Amino acid sequence: MRIDKYLKNSRILKRRTVAKEACEQGRILINGKVAKPGSEVSPGDVVEIGFASKQIKIKVTAVPEHVTKDDAASMYEVLS
């Protein structure tokens, strides 16, 4: 699944366009490498997201195509 779609489906970022812009600005890293909006993400990948005042690191645990609001938190595990 594309990283921009994954961030939206997992409810980490509110909109896919916001995720796309974050990727284009170099604020999203997958396994230590800068991610493009179309970069593929798979279970086991470590994603780092740079927000304005903090950095969050997550580990991808699942990549389902359709996710309910209640299941969104099970798509990742927060590392720091």
Domain holding 33, by residue range, is 3-78
Residue-wise pLDDT for 44-56, tens only, equals 999 999 988 899 9
**pTM value?**
0.90
DSSP state of 60: E
Tell me what pLDDT residue 2 has: 94
Tell me what pLDDT residue 52 has: 82
Q: What is the CATH number of the domain that holds 18?
A: 3.10.290.10
Q: What is the mean pLDDT of residues 6-21?
A: 93
Distance CA(24)–CA(44), nearest Å, equals 23
Distance CA(77)–CA(59), nearest Å, equals 5
What is the number of structural domains in the chain? 1
